[in-house]
Amino acid sequence: MVATIKDVARLANVAPSTVSRVIANNPRISEKTKERVREAMTELGYHPNFIARSLANQSTQAIGIVIPGSADKAFLNPFFPEVIRGISKGAHQKHYALHMSTGETDAEIMEGVVQMVEGKRVDGIVLLYSQVDDKLTKYLLLKNFPFVIVGKPFKDVELITHVDNDNYRAAKEVTEHLIELGHERVAFIGGNLKLVVTVERLLGYEKAIRNAGLEYRDDYIVHAQFLKEGGQAAVQELFKLNEPPTALVVADDLMALGVLNMLDDMGINVPNDVSVVSFNNVMLSEVSRPPLTTVDINIFQLGYEAAKHVIQLVEDPLDPIKRIIIPHKLMKRQSCIEYHSKKKLHQE
């Protein structure tokens, strides 16, 4: 049998409550008894039972991570491990552990969150995505449970602490970059339109197009899933058009990789025939052929700040709602080139 607080108390000739106070390093216990109790602890190889403590305490020192559509899909996109790296770092600094449920469908994920919250398994939650009209957000808000969103909340922006990039501006900037390079037929390949990030990037793209006085064409907007295969499907649609685009804004590096593959299969050269820019700057984007010009959104930082702020929220429920914007940066690489009507000139 494993030693409990009672065993320690008995051995040290004190009450269990005293042992508890020693664990918490309560200053009102004399150094002498502290010493005696500590000796008893090591003698018995005592370690506190976290679960029991959690029950008495109503706190778990763990934060929950919620991933869209099941870890076993999402982890295919390097974005997620990278945010989790950041979260892990932030949680570590405050001595928090990480907890993930493993639901696959939306219903199961919801179920998992309810279990985390209602079952008191975690003290706070980081939502790794923001969906339009999200039930989860609504639930968490209703329960008044500490949580932060990585991304921009669809609504109630002023009620939810969130860590985000300025995706609108970032998308606008990359599109402008393409336009400055002389491109006039710029298409947008986005991910799931239910994700707020997709919407933001699309809006930024649109703004840049309109600002430049270019035509905003519906058939230049394609949506697919945030995976390699998504990118491939999108390209096929776009290059069936009479006037195919000369540049592509792709909402995610992994999709861009699919785009690159498909373009290659179709014998279309990047960057000579078509320029490509994308988002995230995951390791792949540096390695791809050609290396992708992409927006570094500082994924790690996104996770790190999210963790820090849920914990703040947990430890002080009155902590004000915050909006943290992580800076982005365009990483120019070899997937973009100047476009002069029918001629291709020097690289950027």
Partner DNA sequence: TTGAAAGCGCTAACAC
Partner DNA sequence: GTGTTAGCGCTTTCAA
Q: Which stretch binds DNA (CB under 7 A): 11-19, 83-91, 173-181, 243-251?
A: 11-19
Tokens of 99: 């907890």
**Is residue 66 a contact partner of residue 127, using CB atoms and an 8 Å limit?**
yes
Give, for 52, the enclosing helix (H) or strand (E): helix 50-57
By beta-carbon proximity to its own copies, the closer residue of 23 and 325 is: 23
For residue 306, the minimal CB distance to its own copies (Å) is 14
Q: Which stretch binds DNA (CB under 7 A): 49-57, 90-98, 175-183, 328-336?
A: 49-57
As a whole number of angstroms, the distance between CA 230 and CA 246 comes to 19
> Residue 99 binds which one of its own copies, DNA, none, with CB within 5 to 8 A depending on kind?
its own copies
Contacts of 143 (CB under 8 A, 6+ apart): 117
Total residues belonging to the chain: 348
As a whole number of angstroms, the distance between CA 222 and CA 259 comes to 12
Does 159 engage in binding with DNA (CB under 7 A)?
A: no
Q: Is the peptide bond before 48 cis (omega within 30 degrees of 0)?
A: no
Q: Is 235 left (phi over 0), alpha (psi -120 to 50) or beta?
A: alpha
The number of residues that bind its own copies (CB under 8 A) is 50
Does 49 engage in binding with its own copies (CB under 8 A)?
A: yes
For residue 241, the minimal CB distance to DNA (Å) is 58
Give the angle subtended at the CA of 151 by the CAs of 247 and 116, to the nearest 5°: 140
Scan for tokens 């791809």, then name that residue.
Answer: 288
> Residue 283 binds which one of DNA, its own copies, none, with CB within 5 to 8 A depending on kind?
its own copies
Does 115 engage in binding with DNA (CB under 7 A)?
A: no
Tokens of 221: 């907007």
Does 5 engage in binding with DNA (CB under 7 A)?
A: yes
As a whole number of angstroms, the distance between CA 44 and CA 274 comes to 70
Q: Is the dihedral of CA 123, 128, 134, 135 positive or negative?
A: negative
Tokens of 9: 């108390």
Q: Is the dihedral of CA 285, 330, 248, 71 positive or negative?
A: positive
Residues within window 238-257 making contact with its own copies, judged by CB under 8 A: 257
Side chain identity at 120, as an amino acid letter?
A: K
Does 14 engage in binding with DNA (CB under 7 A)?
A: yes
Question: Which of 10, 38, 44, 53 contacts DNA by CB under 7 A?
Answer: 53
Q: How remote is the C-alpha of 39 from its chain's centroid?
A: 45
For residue 307, the minimal CB distance to DNA (Å) is 23
Side chain identity at 258, as an amino acid letter?
A: G
Question: Which of 35, 104, 243, 315 contacts its own copies by CB under 8 A?
Answer: 104
For residue 36, the minimal CB distance to its own copies (Å) is 22
Does 269 engage in binding with its own copies (CB under 8 A)?
A: no
By beta-carbon proximity to DNA, the closer residue of 45 and 267 is: 45
As a whole number of angstroms, the distance between CA 44 and CA 55 comes to 23
As a whole number of angstroms, the distance between CA 124 and CA 90 comes to 13
By beta-carbon proximity to DNA, the closer residue of 49 and 102 is: 49
Does 4 engage in binding with its own copies (CB under 8 A)?
A: no
Does 96 engage in binding with its own copies (CB under 8 A)?
A: yes
Does 1 engage in binding with its own copies (CB under 8 A)?
A: no
Site string for its own copies, 106-145 (x = CB under 8 A): ------x-xx--xxxx------------------------
Other Cβ atoms within 10 Å of 2 Cβ, number: 9
Question: Which of 39, 43, 52, 243 contacts DNA by CB under 7 A?
Answer: 52
The footprint of its own copies (CB under 8 A) covers 2, 47-55, 60, 62, 70-72, 75-76, 78, 80-82, 84-86, 88-89, 91-92, 96-104, 112, 114-115, 118-121, 257, 283-284, 287-289
The footprint of DNA (CB under 7 A) covers 2, 4-6, 13-21, 23-24, 26, 28-30, 32-33, 46, 48-49, 52-53, 55-58
